[in-house]
Amino acid sequence: MSGVPRFSVVVPAFNAERTLPCALRSVLNQVERDFEVVVVDDGSTDGTGAVARAMGDERLRVVRQDNAGLPAARNAGIAAARGEFVSFLDADDAWMPNYLMLMGSALAARRNAALAYCDAWVFQDRTGRVRRQSFFERRHPRVQVPADPKEFLLLHLRGNFFYVGTTVRRSVLIELGGFREDMTSLEDYELWLRIEAAGHRVVEVPEKLALYRSSAHQMSKNSARMNENLLHMLDLIEQRPDLPAGAHAIIAARRAAAQRGLVGATRPHSPSGIRRSLRKVLGRAWHSLPLLESWRDELPPEVEMAFGDLSNC
């Protein structure tokens, strides 16, 4: 492979031999062809590295390292990347064929934007069914996102509404030092906030350009760890001297909520723990009602056209 690619696709992978082929096929099938793929095999004990090498595409490289965790694996991918843009794809997710094309177009149209984020379909690992509500429909604020990075930061501080598969200018990742390796979750959220706090603009691509896998083993299901990392992240953000007015009040409110959540996760018989358990039970009951089923029986046409079905994902 010669020349410098426009995109570097970074895929951190740990024991991902089952899901990695689908992720990599979705990259190799992109409409945009000017890319390289850096798979970071983070000390896998299965056939992850062999699966990646078996794809047989000269644009794909495998970087092997001792197990160091997801943030370190992403940073290793950034260090190996050569493209103008770095696009992040987890080994259990996938992209629609126009992901790179539309994300690149959004950043090219806004030269002062450092990061592009998009919507995603959500699909069940166990069944392959796609959720009726997209990632944005569950998480995105019901307001017009502001163009000013400081105003955007205030909105984003209230809750993370990014799908992890963002595309970022490599120069900005180098400038800010990549992901914090002392975080075991929310390291992506912390970096996005750091990009915004540094004054860089963000652009939204409001289309469903990815497939996000929902499974029982995701880090986000560990409430205690998520709240611990959220508290750590809020401490880090609060120390910045460049926060806009209003940021500290938002941080204080989120810290109080995270502390309550941590108590509920670690002390299930406390009042907050009982409330948390009750919400989970009621949530499961709500989505079990036939008329309120969360998952589609048929794939959205664009997903079916791109993947046939999700049985191979």
Convert the pLDDT of each residue in 86-120 to its tens digit: 999 999 999 999 999 999 999 999 999 999 999 99
Residue 132 pLDDT? 94
Residue 206 phi/psi, 5-degree rounding, is -80, 35
Residue 200 sits at the vertex; the CA angle it makes with 32 and 227, to the nearest 5 degrees, is: 95
Q: Which of the two residues, 287 and 293, has the higher pLDDT score?
A: 293
Looking up tokens 């992720």, which residue turns up? 23
Domain ranges of the chain: 7-220+294-307
Beta strands 167-169; 85-88: pairing state: antiparallel
* pLDDT confidence bin for 286, thresholds 50/70/90: very low
Q: Which of the two residues, 287 and 150, has the higher pLDDT score?
A: 150
23 neighbors 9 (Cβ within 8 angstroms) = no
Instruction: Tell me which of 3.40.640.10, 3.10.129.10, 3.40.50.720, 3.90.550.10 is the CATH number of domain 7-220+294-307.
Output: 3.90.550.10
Instruction: Answer whether residue 266 shows pLDDT above 90.
Output: no
Residue 152 pLDDT? 97
Residue 305 pLDDT? 95
Q: What is the pTM of this model?
A: 0.89
Q: Which residues contact 234 (CB under 8 A, 6 or more apart)?
A: 251, 254, 255, 258
Q: Which residues contact 28 (CB under 8 A, 6 or more apart)?
A: 37, 55, 57, 59, 60
162 neighbors 103 (Cβ within 8 angstroms) = no
Which stretches of 42-142 are DSSP H helices?
A: 48-53, 70-80, 99-109, 135-139
The Cα–Cα gap between 214 and 176 comes to 30
Instruction: Answer whether residue 193 shows pLDDT above 50.
Output: yes
* pLDDT confidence bin for 298, thresholds 50/70/90: very high
Instruction: Answer whether residue 221 shows pLDDT above 70.
Output: no
Tens digits of residue pLDDT in 105-158:
999 999 999 999 999 999 999 889 999 999 999 999 999 999 999 999 999 999
155 neighbors 254 (Cβ within 8 angstroms) = no
The Cα–Cα gap between 247 and 157 comes to 8
Residue 279 pLDDT? 58
Residue 216 pLDDT? 73
